[in-house]
Amino acid sequence: MTRLFMGTGGLLRERKFAMADEKRTAVSYLVFDIEAIADGELVSRIRFPGENLSAEAAIAKYRAELMETTGKDVLPVTYMLPVSVAIAKIDPEFRLLDLVVLDAPEYRPHRIAQLFWQGWQHYGYPTLVSFNGRSYDMPVLELAALRYGFSIPAWFSLELRSFEQPRNRYNSSSHFDLCDFFSNFGATRLSGGLNLLANVLGKPGKSGIDGSMVQDFHHQGRDEEINDYCRCDVLDTYFVFLRSQVLQGKLTLQREQQLVGETKTWLENQADNSPAYQHYLSHWGDWQPPPA
């Protein structure tokens, strides 16, 4: 009834808010990927107390130890900070609306994490879509929220029934982890990971840098390249996500291929201002169906 007594200004304001709400609800999925760097001061304090190592020296020493013992120099997620988060906004019909990286060009960990959580809330808690996000991406972002004091009650909803909680591993309406989906929640080893699945679909996969190079790129001041790489990972994740919807019968194969074509056109329109999209398109391949 209040609406009947609004003046012109009030009606315009309500219309503006309604349009904003419609725009928010148009985003049903956030396909995302993160890249992270080590907190060298934390590594120095926790791993090497009393040695007075600089942040860089502590990271180097820890990486060397890990390489010797495990054959990989990837630090545990608990020491990591986000230096890149790329997000594709997807509508209810699985169409790509936009692809952004957070806090460009500063790429500050605290601001990246803040914008991620604010965006998820702003769009009305859309489904997060990742590849291996439950094991890596989300712990990094959750621990960033702990570190910086962000309140995210809608994510940490422990009062809900266990299967309704967003952090529940089997709650795919809150977080659809493609690694869980294709590995049957760890029942089988998904050797090759996202790179393999993207290549199966004719998409570039790891055609430039990879995650093992991120720490060194950051030390060299090459955060822009890290974020470009992250954009490409999100595109791979999006195309694998589309095929996962075909498998579930939520998309026809014909419609999936139309969406792939629309996305290619979108990338071509953006490419003049984006080295990342130029690189991605230069390695583009089309999926070929089997012979009839």
User: How far is it, in rounded angstroms, from Cα 11 to Cα 58?
Assistant: 59
End-to-end CA distance of the chain: 61
pTM: 0.90
Neighbour-count burial of 18, counting CB atoms closer than 10 A to its CB (0-12 exposed, 13-18 middle, 19+ buried): exposed
Which residues touch 127 (CB under 8 Å, ≥6 apart)? 28, 29, 30, 172, 173, 174, 175, 176
* Nearest one of 239, 225, 291, 226 to 267, comparing CA atoms: 239
| Predicted confidence pLDDT, tens digits, the chain (292 residues) | 333 333 434 444 444 444 445 555 599 999 999 999 999 999 999 999 999 999 999 999 999 999 999 999 999 999 999 999 999 999 999 999 999 999 999 999 999 999 999 999 999 999 999 999 999 999 999 999 999 999 999 999 999 999 999 999 999 999 999 999 999 999 999 999 999 999 999 999 987 777 789 999 999 999 999 999 999 999 999 999 999 999 999 999 999 999 999 999 999 999 999 999 999 999 999 999 999 8
Contact predicate 202/285, CB 8 Å:
yes
